[in-house]
């Protein structure tokens, strides 16, 4: 049997519910980011505020993305191994991808603080050019030979040169002091990058063993508790590249996704569909019970409390079980066709709203936020518009891959 045939046989079947879960998460993420500017809505349509305790559905969106990143890790590793990648190749790929997410996060967040008076370029123009550089440099160009390959390579280097130039002229106002970029300001994308790196490293150390991955989740939760209790304050100042796991909070949500993937999408723990659901229901109960027991440490997205992490993971397990039943068991998936671009090209879809706002700023347009439920309708239409743009750009072979 040839190697190519063997690779096809060994390659894991694509699980549609994973892609749809990712697509739904990105769609809702775009929606809640935009609807946050709408006034006059019920409390549960916003994030829980700083210093407050509780959760809304908005507070589960970011954890849902971390969770689905975790679910995809065993699938991606298995697929890349089936195509002949070595452990070294996989580790190199992981480090590059993680640091790329951190770098893009730093560019986006610092772009929001650019000082035009010192930088010498308008806020909107700097951000538009920055996003052009990001797309050119990190675009997943199709395989090509000859002139096309040279063109793609040239575009990639142009993107990098543009980003270097923009960073060279960048300045921001930090409480009256002119400063360069804040390399620790990486926000959501950076958080995903560090969590992804941490969990993949743990996955390789444990060799993907379910028992040791479970122990790792418990240890990550304990680490988060220790941070909240103030026992590990010295690690707060440790360079992130030396301690990528941070407080363990975001990594724990990602690891929770890895465990569900091992439970549900492999046969080593549960073979039948019934046993998969029984294991997953038990897993959900354990996550909620652990979250309830750790409530004394608070329940809030701001600060990433252990209970917020565990409750969010439990909710994600329930969502995935429902999606898997509908999509992969009952084969009802046409309803989610319009979310396919968001699921297959999530990073581009995520940054498109920022590109939109930057372009509007460049041309001095004004975005009308709206108020009440008409504002919600506007935010929903905007989210669908972003998905449409993502679909068009994906067809044009513009793809930023997480």
pLDDT tens digits, one per residue of 303-357? 999 999 999 999 999 999 999 999 999 999 888 888 888 888 999 999 999 999 8
- Packed helices 372-395 and 346-362: angle between N→C axes, nearest 10 degrees: 110
Please tell me the predicted confidence (pLDDT) of residue 12.
Answer: 45
User: In terms of domains, do 177 and 199 share one?
Assistant: no
Instruction: Tell me the C-alpha distance between 297 and 307, whole Å.
Output: 8
Say whether both 193 and 177 belong to one domain.
no
Residue where one domain finishes, among candidates 149, 181, 213: 181
Final residue belonging to a domain, choices 156, 181, 206: 181
pLDDT value, residue 145: 87
Q: How many residues does the chain have?
A: 402
If phi > 0 it is left, if psi is from -120 to 50 it is alpha, else beta; for residue 187 that is left
Rounded Cα gap, residues 399 and 136, in angstroms:
10
- Judge whether 97 lies within some domain: no
Does 254 share its domain with 328? yes
Structure tokens at 123: 């806020």
| Strand pairing report for 177-179 and 172-174 | antiparallel
Return mean pLDDT, the chain. 90
Residues 142 and 214 occupy one common structural domain: no
Residue 75 sits in the same domain as residue 119: no
Q: 330 φ, ψ to 5°? A: -90, -5
pLDDT at res. 119: 94
Do 399 and 345 form a contact (C-beta atoms < 8 A)?
Answer: yes
Alpha helices in 183-272 (DSSP H): 187-205, 210-228, 249-265
> Do both 248 and 323 map to the same domain?
yes
What is the model's pLDDT at position 7? 36
Question: Where a domain ends, among 127, 160, 181?
Answer: 181
What is the C-alpha separation between 204 and 288, in angstroms, rounded?
Answer: 28
Residue 39 domain-assigned (yes or no): no
Question: Could you list the residue range(s) of the whole structural domain that residue 156 is in?
Answer: 114-181
Chain centroid to Cα 280, Å, comes to 23
Orientation of helix 273-293 relative to helix 249-265, angle to 10°? 160
pLDDT at 239: 86
> What pLDDT does 368 receive?
58
Task: Please check whether residue 104 lies inside any domain of the structure.
Answer: no
Residue 46 resides in a domain: no
If asked whether residues 192 and 60 sit together in one domain, one would say yes
Q: Is residue 279 part of a domain?
A: yes
Q: How far apart are CA 264 and CA 270, in angstroms?
A: 7
On whether residue 272 sits in a domain, the answer given is yes
Same domain as 201, residue 135: no
Is there a contact between 257 and 313 (Cβ–Cβ < 8 Å)?
A: yes
C-beta of residue 364 within 8 angstroms of C-beta of residue 123: no
CA distance 75 to 166: 37
Please name the residue that has the structure tokens 């890895």. Answer: 258
The pair of structure tokens assigned to 258 is 């890895």
Asked whether residue 257 falls in the same domain as residue 365, the answer is yes
Which regions of the chain are under pLDDT 70?
A: 1-14, 362-369, 401-402
Asked whether residue 205 falls in the same domain as residue 324, the answer is: yes
What the block records as the tokens of 10 is 């060994």
Provide the domain count of the chain.
Answer: 2
Asked if residue 220 and residue 176 are part of one domain, the reply reads no
Residue 376 lies in a domain: yes
* 119 located within any domain: yes
* pTM above threshold 0.85: yes
116: nearest Cα among 164, 171, 165, 181:
171
Answer yes or no: do 300 and 163 share one domain: no
Main-chain phi, psi angles of 276, to 5 degrees: -60, -45
């Amino acid at each position: 049997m040839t190697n190519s045939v063997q690779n096809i046989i060994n390659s894991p079947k694509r699980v549609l519910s994973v892609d749809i879960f990712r697509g739904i998460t990105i769609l809702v993420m775009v929606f809640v980011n935009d609807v946050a500017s709408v006034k006059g809505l019920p409390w549960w349509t916003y994030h829980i505020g700083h210093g407050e305790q509780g959760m809304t559905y908005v507070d589960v969106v970011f954890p849902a993305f971390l969770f689905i990143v975790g679910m995809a890790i065993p699938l991606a590793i298995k697929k890349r191994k089936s195509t002949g990648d070595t452990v070294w190749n996989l580790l190199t790929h992981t480090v590059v991808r993680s640091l790329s997410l951190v770098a893009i996060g730093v560019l986006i967040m610092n772009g929001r603080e650019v000082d035009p008076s010192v930088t010498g370029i308008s806020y909107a123009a700097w951000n538009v050019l920055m996003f052009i550089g990001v797309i050119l440099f990190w675009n997943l160009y199709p395989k090509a030979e000859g002139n096309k390959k040279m063109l793609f390579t040239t575009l990639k280097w142009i993107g990098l040169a543009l980003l270097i130039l923009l960073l060279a002229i960048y300045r921001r106002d930090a409480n009256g002091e002119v400063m360069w970029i804040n390399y620790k300001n990486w926000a959501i994308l950076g958080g995903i990058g560090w969590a992804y790196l941490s969990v993949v490293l743990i996955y390789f150390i444990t060799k993907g063993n379910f028992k040791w991955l479970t122990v790792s989740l418990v240890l990550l939760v304990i680490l988060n508790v220790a941070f909240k209790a103030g026992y590990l304050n010295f690690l707060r100042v440790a360079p992130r590249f030396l301690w990528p796991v941070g407080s363990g909070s975001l990594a724990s949500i990602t690891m929770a996704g890895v465990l569900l993937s091992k439970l549900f999408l492999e046969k080593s723990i549960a073979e039948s569909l019934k046993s998969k659901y029984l294991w997953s229901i038990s897993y959900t109960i354990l996550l909620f019970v652990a979250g309830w027991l750790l409530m004394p440490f608070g329940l809030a997205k701001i600060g990433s409390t252990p209970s917020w992490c565990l409750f969010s993971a439990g909710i994600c397990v329930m969502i995935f079980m429902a999606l898997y039943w509908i999509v992969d068991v009952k084969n009802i998936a046409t309803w989610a066709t319009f979310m396919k671009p968001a699921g297959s090209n999530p990073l581009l879809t995520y940054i498109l709203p920022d590109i939109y706002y930057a372009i509007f700023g460049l041309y001095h347009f004004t975005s009308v936020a709206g108020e009440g439920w008409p504002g919600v309708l506007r935010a929903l239409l905007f989210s669908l518009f972003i998905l449409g743009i993502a679909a068009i750009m994906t067809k044009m072979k513009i793809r930023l891959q997480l």
